[in-house]
Structure 1
């Protein structure tokens, strides 16, 4: 269980908004310590959406650097993607998951969630782009899913942003090498 001291330290750093300096300070403080990471998760899953938002950026950085810390929270992350309190929450979860070895029990639900993000043109580009990578990684063993993903990406390429087009073309190139 996270100590109240760690919760207080992280809360003091997070309070009042986010910045790169605060994010780096939290990332350095937590390192690969699961107890300190649990204190960050206290804020990431907090009832108040601002705490979720403020904790999301450090979570994204730590999750990429220390994926083992994410494993105990995987189910909660998938649940959180169903109805995130803020786009930053979903963005940083997807950012972590784009390089994560998804447990088989979660591939179906996560594929559906990520596919819905990809198809929703009202979602921020970052959510849609990270979703592409998550979808590709889940679909790799399944040619029929890769084909479905390719069709979906191609449908949005002509009107996509530069970031969407760039990632979309890379994913389509990877798909073409497999199917």
Structure 2
């Protein structure tokens, strides 16, 4: 028989598993949408856009859209661009510098602290979070159509950016499930 009945597995432990606050948004929180609508990088072959973010109590998820077109690029250059847009977030980097086509993101808080997708954080536990701030890439979707490639990803920023009492879009914009 090709499709055999699977073995019965032991019951999984009961309880409400949640990611640590530094590892991503809480499943029980919807988050508030903050429109950003900014083109953060653009040339004749690539556009990187942040249409918006979702603010949570512990951090925020920045939505990133990357659109590429081949244009008059050689096959080798197109392949390098294509792979850098779709796979480079975990590309090992060593030596004297960063490759020009390495896709990288970073944020800087008002107090001067920064977080980038190139930072390596030692393993952390739920009770012992890494030193912040932290910026992690989480892939959402990837697509190809005709002469182009598109990629959508999320950048989880932890902790939430510091707020200013008068003008912060982060205040009071998230909702938690009971």
TM-score range relative to shorter protein: under 0.3
Structure with greater proportional helix content: 1
Which has the higher relative contact order, 1 or 2, with Cα contacts under 8 A spaced 6 or more apart?
2
Question: Rg: which structure is higher?
Answer: 2
Structure with greater proportional strand content: 2
